[in-house]
Amino acid sequence: MELKRVVVTGLGAITPLGNNINDYWNGLINGVSGADMITLFDASKFKTRFACEIKGFEPTAYLEKKEARKLDRFTQIALVASDQAVLDAAITKENVNTDRVGVIFASGIGGLITFQDEIINFAKGDGTPRFNPFFIPRMILDIAAGHISIRHGFRGPNFAVVSACASSTNAMMESFNLIRLGKADIILTGGAESVISQAGVGGFNAMKALSERNDDAKTASRPYDKDRDGFVMGEGTGVVVLEELEHAKARGAKIYCEIGGCGATADAYHITAPHPEGLGAKNVMNEALNDAGMSAGDIDYINTHGTSTPLGDVSEVKAIMDVFGEHAFQLNISATKSMTGHCLGAAGVIEAIACIKSVVHDIVPPTINHFTDDPELDPKLNFTFHEAQQRTVRAALSNTFGFGGHNACVIVKKYI
C-alpha cells in the first residue's frame, strides 16, 4: 500500500506571546518573554509567583456568554484557535466532505481549574453533594476535541491523546498516520492546556520542577544556561490542519509545508526524570528520521524540548549529538520555551508551529535568557542565543518529552 502525502494547510494559536499566529510568530522571532507575575489567582503565598499567561483573552469576545460559562479555559482557547485554523485553511462545508474531516486533540491535564474549583466549593459546604451539572463535561480532557467537532460539524475520527507534555505531538502523529493510511482527508490536530492555578502551580512546586526566580520572572526560563533552576509554567493552544496532498490541491488550498515523519518512544526509566544519556530521545529522533526516509544531514533546525531543567537540557543535547554526529554543529538549535514557558500538553503543537513557520520563512527563532555557558554543553553547538537567525530551513524537527518517559517527535519539511 502506497502511503499518502500529508501537508499543512491551516494554523491557529493562542499563546503567551499573542492570541493569533502572526502575533505568536512575531513574538518568537523578536525574542519576547511571555513571563510575568501571575494574575489568574493570588499566588502571593506560593514558592513560584510568576508564569507565562495568555494576555488579553476574553472568551465572550469569541463565544456566546452562555456557551463560555459551560467550558473550562482550556476548551475555550481550543475552540477559538480552531476557528482561526479553519478560516486559515479555507475549509467550508461546500469544499470538503465533513464525514472525512476529523479532530484529534490533546491535553496533558485537561480541566484542572474546573476540578479544583468544584472540589473547593464542595469542601466549603455541609457535605451535601451540590455540583455543577457541567463539572464532568468541563473537566474531561477529551471534551475539547468533542466541542471542536460539534462547532464545525466534522464527523471524521475524533478522540483525545494524553502523554503528559508529549500529548499534542502524539496527537499530530496519530492524525498524520490516519491521513496517510487514507482514513481521513483532513484532521484538525493539536492541543490545549490551561492549569495556571493553585493546584497546578502548587503541585509542580511540590515536585521542585518550577523555577522560583520571582525577582526576575522575565528571564527565569533559561534553557541551556548554567544557572537554570526549573521550568516556567505556560498556558496556550495550537491547532494544525493536516490534509492529504491531493485533496488539498483539488480544492486549491494554501500549503505551508509537508509532514515528513514522526516517532514515539519510551525512556522506560523514571516517572519524571529523563534518561541521563537521552536514550529515549535518541531513539525517537532516529525513528522520526527513518519514518521520513531522511538522513540526519537533511535537518537544519531542531526545536528542542528545552524546558530549562538541570537534567532535561543536558540529556537532550547528548541525544542530539548521538543522532546527528558532526552535523550537529551545522544545525540551529533553539528552545522557544524560553519565551512561551512550558505549555505542558500543548507545548508540542505550539513548538511544531514554530518549526512550520521556520520552514516557510527561513528564520530560526532564538533561545533567549542566556547568561552563563553550561560546561556540560559543547560551546560549538549553535543554540541560536539571543537573536533569531536567517538561514535556509529545508526541514525542522520538533522534540517533546513527557513525564512517564513519553517521547514524541515530528519532522516538517518544505513542500516541493
Q: How far is CA 80 from CA 15, 21, 147, 160, 308, in A?
A: 12, 12, 11, 18, 29
- Of the residues 342, 343, 370, 409, which is catalytic? 342
**165 a catalytic residue:** yes
**247 a catalytic residue:** no
Question: Cα(179)–Cα(381) distance, rounded to whole angstroms?
Answer: 36
DSSP letter (8 states) at residue 232? -
Pairing mode of beta strands 389-390, 257-266: unpaired
**370 a catalytic residue:** no
- Of the residues 52, 165, 355, 409, which is catalytic? 165
Question: Cα(245)–Cα(258) distance, rounded to whole angstroms?
Answer: 9
Longest dimension (CA), the chain: 66
Question: Cα(278)–Cα(284) distance, rounded to whole angstroms?
Answer: 10
The three-state secondary structure class of 171 is helix
How many other β-carbons are positioned within 10 Å of the β-carbon of residue 135? 17
Contacts of 33 (CB under 8 A, 6+ apart): 218, 219, 221, 338, 339, 368, 369
Place of cell 502571593: 44
Residue burial 25-40, b: 16+ Cβ < 10 Å; e: rest: bebbbebbbbbeebeb
Question: Cα(342)–Cα(222) distance, rounded to whole angstroms?
Answer: 12
- Helices and strands (H, E) in the chain, number of each type: 13, 14
Q: How far is CA 65 from CA 59, 61, 70, 83, 229, in A?
A: 8, 9, 9, 17, 40
- Of the residues 305, 343, 370, 409, which is catalytic? 305
Query: Catalytic amino acids?
Result: 165, 305, 342
